[in-house]
């Protein structure tokens, strides 16, 4: 049961804006796609603004296999190894080879990746066999990239950008995606944007978990809109938890980049003991899923609510230059770097699963494309290799724009639209309480460690909440967000129940081993479940 927003094509109640292409979301993937479509009337909408994209908040950097003693082949091998055997190899090849050209393009456009003695400075993060992470302005790589792309886009008058536009729903006609119903939050008014094609680039869905590094606006709105219209989803059980986020009462779960460990930071438990070497040969630079579970294990063993990141062997001058943003946040909370360790614990970070697409971002719905974190091409498998996400946004954002240009759909005549919200009801729903309940339930039951009992309880709870949450008519962004979070939380929990093994970030205590028979993908579509060897 999902909320059905019924569209009839008889009477027009809302203003209709006709464009060539609509891009929902303006992180690295959405902006890179827009650059390819610069010669067409293209609209990019942001739910809030640039600062609330996950790209803007990305710290570590962008992985590319061009450093000394490195190669795209090595990058490919690391990506597949960390992905635990279910990556789509063709997608990974595209990532690591086309990624080199996309990064060179960024440099040509003005990105100043950090250098030492005139040479690019590559750092190392968990799961990588070489130093291959480029970074800009220390730990503000995402911010520098998105500002540069935004500036490039401002040169093209046919690209229009609107902030505070919220995607309520996609509009389909004759089994084709033809437009979107949008809430203009600034004016509290509705409008239809009709387009030849729509690109979803809305990012992940970290806000469905109580602890997350994602900005407040990342609530899975694009996912849920696509699901309602029949899009196929895959790998939804694979949600990555970043091992190290700042843990201080009252502070947001601020990301402490893995690059801090790459530069020499060491994890210690509450007793001051190093522990990662006992969990993995790579120690503090083991893949993220292993580090996250090790931290949880140490917290249980020491009856504590965090561990500590010891940065005492990184000189202050180097720390301030390499991690200016992290330093400023630690300073704000009176942590004296490098003398005092940083209290950290895992938080929900990155969604490997998403809308199932081909290698060009095409979904199973005509005229609907997806790129970036919302999409699942199979590039990450069961666990994303650190700093592959910005690269993925660049590569597959560009590919989506290119394939649309090469296969231009015809302009549709203007459609007249009547839009009916779900039936009115007198039921009262505290939407913020519903959101808090979803987050708490998902964190406790569908988090880093799972089992049948926890997952079954969560699934039953979510289905019960659906019974009343989906008949309520909302007229504001927060209400729609609560429904979207509920839809996606239910799908993630269902996928986690179905996969009866542990693989990558999906760890089940009752099925603790990988199983060869589970080298396959779970594909969900409204009312249907499929199992396939290949995405």
State which residues form the domain around 464.
Answer: 422-532
CATH number at residue 299: 3.90.700.10
Sign of the dihedral through C-alpha 245, 248, 249, 252: negative
Q: Is 297 helix (H, G, I), strand (E, B) or coil?
A: helix
User: Tell me, what's the pLDDT at 6?
Assistant: 46
Is 166 part of a structural domain of the chain? no
> In the predicted model, is pLDDT for residue 66 greater than 50?
yes
Q: Assess if residue 520 is contained within a domain.
A: yes
Q: Please report whether residue 336 resides in a domain.
A: yes
- Percentage of the chain beyond pLDDT 70 is 94
Q: What per-residue confidence (pLDDT) applies to 529?
A: 97
Residue 397 CA to residue 202 CA, distance in Å, equals: 12
* Phi, psi values for residue 332, rounded to 5°: -60, -40
DSSP state for residue 188 in the 8-state scheme: T
| Stretch 376-388: mean pLDDT | 96
Domain match, 527 and 426 both: yes
Query: Does 528 score more than 90 pLDDT?
Result: yes
What Rg do the C-alpha atoms of the chain give, in angstroms? 22
Mean pLDDT of 283-304: 95
Cis peptide before 34 (omega within 30 of 0): no
| Residue 46 located in a structural domain | no
Are 137 and 46 in contact by the 8 Å Cβ rule? The answer is no
Q: Return the structure tokens found at 403.
A: 């394939």
Beta bridge partners of 191: 182
Q: What is the 3-state secondary structure (H, E, C) of 90-107?
A: HHHHHHHHHHHHHHHHHH
**The last residue of a domain, from among 313, 329, 348:** 348
Dump pLDDT digits (tens) for 475-488.
789 989 999 999 99
Q: 504 lies in a domain?
A: yes
Q: Are residues 343 and 437 in the same domain?
A: no
- φ, ψ of residue 324 to 5 degrees: the values are -65, -35
Using an 8 Å Cβ cutoff, are 381 and 352 in contact? Answer: yes
DSSP letter at 314 equals S
Report yes or no on 305 lying in a domain.
yes
Torsion angle of C-alpha atoms 195, 34, 487, 354, degrees rounded to 10: 120
Residue 50: its pLDDT value, please?
Answer: 86
From 374, 3, 399, 396, select the one nearest 214 (Cα to Cα).
374
Tell me the pLDDT band of 175, cut-offs 50, 70 and 90: confident
Which position has the higher pLDDT, 518 or 258?
Answer: 518
**CA 258/CA 384 separation, integer angstroms:** 13
Report how far residue 56's alpha carbon sits from residue 76's, in angstroms, rounded to the nearest whole number. 26
Mapping DSSP onto H, E and C, the string for 414-449 reads CCCCEEECCCCCCCCCCHHHHHHHHHHHHHHHCCCC
Q: Tell me how many domains the chain contains.
A: 2
**pLDDT greater than 80 at residue 400:** yes
CA torsion angle 308 312 316 320 (round to 10): -30
Q: Where are the alpha helices (DSSP H) in 154-270?
A: 221-228, 259-262
**CB of 507 within 8 A of CB of 243?**
no
Catalytic residue among 132, 288, 450, 508: 288
Distance CA 65, CA 63 (A): 7
Supply the pLDDT for residue 427.
Answer: 66
322 is catalytic: no
- Write the pLDDT tens digit of every residue in 74-109: 999 999 999 999 999 999 999 999 999 999 999 999
Which of 304, 332, 348 marks a domain boundary? 348
Highest mean pLDDT, choosing among 136-145, 248-257, 471-480: 136-145
Please report where in the chains the tokens 């200016």 appear, as a residue: 324
The residue out of 286, 314, 348 marking a domain boundary is 348
Q: Which pLDDT does position 9 carry in this prediction?
A: 44
72 in a structural domain: no
Whats the size of the chain, residue-wise? 535
What are the φ/ψ torsions at residue 530 (nearest 5 degrees)?
-130, 155
Asked if the model's pLDDT at residue 426 lies above 70, the reply is: no
Predicted local distance difference test score (pLDDT) of residue 8: 46
One domain, residues 426 and 512 = yes
Distance CA(361)–CA(378), nearest Å, equals 11
Distances in Å between the Cα of 453 and the Cα atoms of 438, 449, 459, 505 are 17, 12, 10, 19
CATH number of the domain bearing residue 482: 1.20.58.100
More confident residue, 474 or 405: 405
Which residues on neighbouring strands pair with residue 135, listed in sequence order?
Answer: none
Please, what is the average pLDDT of the chain? Answer: 93
Q: For residue 387, is it within any domain?
A: no
With bands split at pLDDT 50, 70 and 90, how would you rate the model's confidence at 420?
Answer: low
Give the per-residue pLDDT at 431.
86
**DSSP category for residue 317:** H
User: Each residue of 323-341: pLDDT tens digit?
Assistant: 999 999 999 999 999 999 9
The residue with tokens 């970290």 is: 206
Q: How confident is the model at residue 10 (pLDDT cuts 50, 70, 90)?
A: very low
pLDDT bin (cut points 50, 70, 90) of residue 252 is confident
């Amino acid at each position: 049961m999902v909320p059905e927003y019924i569209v009839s094509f008889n009477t027009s109640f809302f203003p209709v804006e006709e464009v060539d292409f609509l891009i929902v979301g303006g992180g690295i993937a959405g902006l890179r796609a827009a650059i390819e479509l610069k010669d067409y009337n293209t609209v990019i909408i942001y739910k809030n603004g640039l600062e609330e994209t996950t790209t803007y908040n990305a710290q570590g950097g962008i992985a590319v296999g061009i450093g000394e003693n490195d190669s795209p082949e090595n990058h490919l091998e690391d990506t597949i190894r960390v992905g635990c055997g279910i990556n789509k190899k063709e997608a990974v090849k595209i990532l690591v080879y086309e990624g080199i050209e996309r990064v060179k393009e960024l440099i040509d456009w003005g990105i100043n990746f950090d250098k030492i003695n005139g040479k690019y400075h590559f750092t190392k993060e968990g799961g990588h066999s070489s130093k291959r992470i480029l970074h800009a302005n220390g730990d503000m790589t995402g911010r520098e990239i998105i500002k540069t792309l935004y500036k490039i886009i401002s040169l093209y008058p046919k690209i229009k950008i609107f902030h505070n536009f919220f995607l309520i729903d996609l509009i389909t006609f004759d089994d084709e995606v033809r437009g979107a119903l949008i809430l203009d939050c600034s004016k509290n008014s509705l409008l239809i944007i009709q387009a030849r094609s729509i690109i979803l680039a809305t990012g992940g869905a970290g806000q469905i978990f109580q602890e997350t590094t994602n900005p407040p606006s990342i609530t899975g709105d694009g996912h849920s809109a696509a699901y309602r219209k029949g899009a196929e989803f895959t790998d939804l059980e694979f949600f990555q938890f970043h091992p190290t986020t700042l843990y201080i009462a009252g502070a947001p779960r601020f990301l402490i980049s893995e690059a801090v460990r790459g530069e020499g930071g060491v994890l210690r438990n509450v007793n001051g003991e190093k522990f990662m070497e006992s969990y993995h040969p790579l120690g503090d630079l083991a893949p993220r899923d292993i580090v996250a579970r090790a931290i949880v294990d140490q917290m249980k063993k020491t009856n504590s609510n965090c561990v500590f990141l010891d940065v005492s062997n990184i000189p202050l001058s180097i720390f301030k230059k390499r991690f200016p943003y992290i330093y400023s946040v630690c300073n704000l909370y009176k942590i004296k770097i490098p003398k005092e360790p940083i209290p950290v614990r895992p938080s929900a970070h990155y969604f490997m699963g998403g809308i199932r697409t081909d290698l060009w971002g095409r979904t199973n719905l005509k005229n609907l494309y997806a790129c970036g974190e919302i999409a699942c091409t199979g590039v990450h498998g069961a666990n994303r290799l650190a700093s592959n996400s910005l690269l993925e946004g660049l590569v597959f954002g560009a590919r989506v724009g290119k394939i649309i240009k090469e296969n231009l759909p015809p302009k549709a005549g203007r459609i007249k639209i009547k839009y009916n919200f779900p039936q009115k009801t007198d039921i009262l729903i505290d939407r913020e309480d519903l959101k808090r309940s979803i987050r708490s339930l998902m964190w406790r039951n569908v988090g880093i460690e799972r089992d049948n009992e926890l997952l079954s309880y969560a699934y039953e709870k979510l289905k019960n909440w659906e019974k009343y949450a989906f008949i309520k008519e909302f007229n504001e962004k927060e209400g729609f967000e609560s429904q979207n979070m509920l839809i996606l939380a239910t799908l993630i929990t269902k996928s986690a129940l179905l996969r009866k093994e542990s693989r990558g970030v999906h760890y089940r205590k009752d099925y603790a081993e990988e199983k060869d028979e589970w080298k396959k993908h779970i594909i969900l579509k409204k009312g249907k479940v499929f199992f396939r060897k290949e995405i």
